[in-house]
Amino acid sequence: MEAKIMENVNAWLNGNFDQDTKNEIKRLEAENPNELADAFYRNLEFGTGGLRGIMGVGTNRMNKYTVGMSTQGYANYLKQTYPGGEIRVAIAHDPRNNSRTFAEITANVMAANGIKVFLFDSLRPTPELSFTIRKLGCQGGVVCTASHNPKEYNGYKAYWNDGGQLVPPHDKNVIREVDKIASVDDVKWSGGEANITIIGKDIDDAYIKMVKGLSVYPEVIAKQHDLKIVYTPIHGSGIMLVPQVLQTFGFTNVTIVEEQAKPDGNFPTVVYPNPEEAETMSIGLKKAQSIDADILLGTDPDADRVGIGIKDNQGNWVLMNGNQTAVLAFNYLLEARHTKGVAKPNDMVIKTIVTTDMIDRIAAHFNVACYNVLTGFKWIAELIKEKEGTEHYVIGGEESYGLMIGDQLRDKDAVSAVALLCEMAAYEKEKGRSLFDKLLELYTQFGYYQEHLISITKKGMNGQQEIADMMEGYRKNPPASLHDIPVVQLLDYQLKKGRNLQTGEEWDIKLPTSNVLQFILADGSKISARPSGTEPKIKFYFSVHTQLRDANSFPEAQAAAKSKIDGIIQGLSL
């Protein structure tokens, strides 16, 4: 085993770590040295979004020591940034195994550093944490969650005073302070318990009231209150708020998927607790079919992502992808606000660079500014802050099943999204049509856009390097054509440069630096390559579009678009 790995292992065996931890290290040393090497070959990176990793002993794992050391670094930065005054942080967690423990450790370390802590009494959706930071005037916050990752994972997301996740310069500054914590002996583990306040129902009530205020057509819900809704929290924290929010909106016919209603960090009915996965939504889909529901909705463990199922024009149930859900949601809010006369001349919407460009066309139709930002809701939050006082934010979203409606919080929010998507279904039902009918109408009006996502994981110690090599190859030698369509532009968000591959012309990209590449084809197709910042994973996003003559032409257009995407994928040798 490498000397550096053994040095890390011995530091834990001889340091101030509990005996159970040391026993587990010795067990791995005897029974699974490869796993031991993976657990200690590096420090679990505190990235720009925080921590995320497999739970277990070791420097490269999520455990009480890596959480405590990260919290000490974050606390140090808060104290540097706000010297002299009271510092407040809010802390929440999802239902994952160890999430409550990690949240309490975070609270204890913050409190021991003299910081006033507001800790939720039990699991809560991530968006409520964002709302709470703003509501209680906090300078920061933490939610312990690994979002939609498998059960072996946990994570730690750090927030700033606007309720958004860390952005420059705070992200890099916190990372710098976390990196300075060289030992568990540098951590203040206890002694400030009097600084911790337990919070719960009062914040829930304020949050639910805020979400109710987002409703555009409560009178339509009153008429369609018995809309048949099926909801699954997928063993997550959505169960804490979604049913109450739907009741507050006025919906009276909500069926909870009982098999997935109980919070459980083992996620016993699914492989991946992710509403993007058809298998994960399959139990809810069966329930929706059996009662002939109008809409199916599922939220991930920390209730910041939402997936929906609807019936197509043949009566068959289909799951919408994140782009389709975003198209329906953006259009509903812009159309409903316009029709009702509450739209403002300075309304704006925000999406990410890998989300369907169909939204740009819809926004232009309603004469609403549409801004494109880097992937991640922290960038949506940052732009809202920048535009505050001059433009009015309506909705933001990304293709990975995330929506953020209204500006009272600054992270993606599946709880409010569920309520507004149900209101949207009621709005269309009142007009005598389904959400699928509406989607086809939008495709006919604005063009048919089809997107596809491929996610590639490179496991082990060499995984990150393999992905880095892949990106460098595309950066230096972009493909000349894909599926016999010329590649005309390369957009490099790391170098912040765009380049016309045919003329050599270059221009600046006015967004923060990010390791993302986009290939723009001659027919307008777009391919994006984006490595994960927290895992050895790279995602490829594909988007093609064409005109749709009428609703009856949809199957033909869909097949043609799929064929084109398949050809592009083949051209990239993925």
Say how far apart CA 200 and CA 127 lie, in whole Å: 14
Residues identified as active-site? 147
Global pTM reads 0.95
Whether residues 438 and 315 share a domain: the answer is: yes
Tokens of 373: 């930002």
Count of CB atoms situated within 10 Å of the CB of 243: 18
* 508 domain residue, yes or no: yes
Domain that holds residue 457: 448-571
Dihedrals φ, ψ of 460, to 5°?
Answer: 90, -175
- Rg, C-alpha atoms of the chain: 24
Cβ neighbours of 514 (radius 10 Å): 20
CA nearest neighbour of 491 among 516, 465, 466: 516
First to last CA, the chain: 33
Task: Give the per-residue pLDDT at 536.
Answer: 80
Say if 218 falls within a structural domain.
Answer: no
Structural domain contains residue 121:
yes
Domain contains 219 = no
Query: Which of 319, 246, 258 is CA-nearest to residue 287?
Result: 258
241 secondary structure, DSSP code: T
- Residue ending a domain, among 413, 446, 479, is 446
Task: Please tell me whether residues 96 and 123 are part of one structural domain.
Answer: yes
Contact between 523 and 485 (Cβ < 8 Å): yes
- Strand-by-strand arrangement of the 347-352 sheet: 369-373, 347-352, 392-398, 402-405
Q: Per DSSP, what are the bridge partners of residue 426?
A: none
Write the CATH number for 528: 3.30.310
- 237, 182: one domain: no
Q: Are residues 453 and 433 in the same domain?
A: no
Q: Which residues of 204-219 are buried (b: 16+ CB within 10 A; e: fewer)?
A: beebbebbeebbbbee
List, in order, residues 6 or more apart from 90 with CB less than 8 Å away. Answer: 117, 118, 119, 120, 129, 132, 133, 136, 138, 141, 142, 199
Same domain membership, residue 370 and residue 411: yes
Q: Do 428 and 564 fall within a single domain?
A: no
CB-based contact 68:183 (threshold 8 Å): no
Which CATH number fits the domain that encloses residue 88?
Answer: 3.40.120.10
Co-location of 231 and 300 in the same domain: yes
Query: Same structural domain for residues 136 and 32?
Result: no
State the total domains in the chain.
4
For residues 94 and 233, membership in a common domain is answered with no
* String of DSSP letters for 97-111: TTHHHHHHHHHHHHH
Both 397 and 459 in one domain: the answer is no
Successive 10-residue mean pLDDT values, the chain, 574 residues: 91 96 96 95 88 96 98 98 96 98 98 98 98 98 95 97 96 96 96 98 98 97 98 98 98 98 98 95 98 98 98 95 97 97 97 97 98 95 96 97 96 98 98 96 97 88 86 93 95 96 95 95 96 82 94 94 95 88
Are the beta carbons of 228 and 292 closer than 8 angstroms?
yes
Residue 1 is predicted with a pLDDT of 72
Same structural domain, 89 and 55: yes
Residues 412 and 332 in one domain: yes
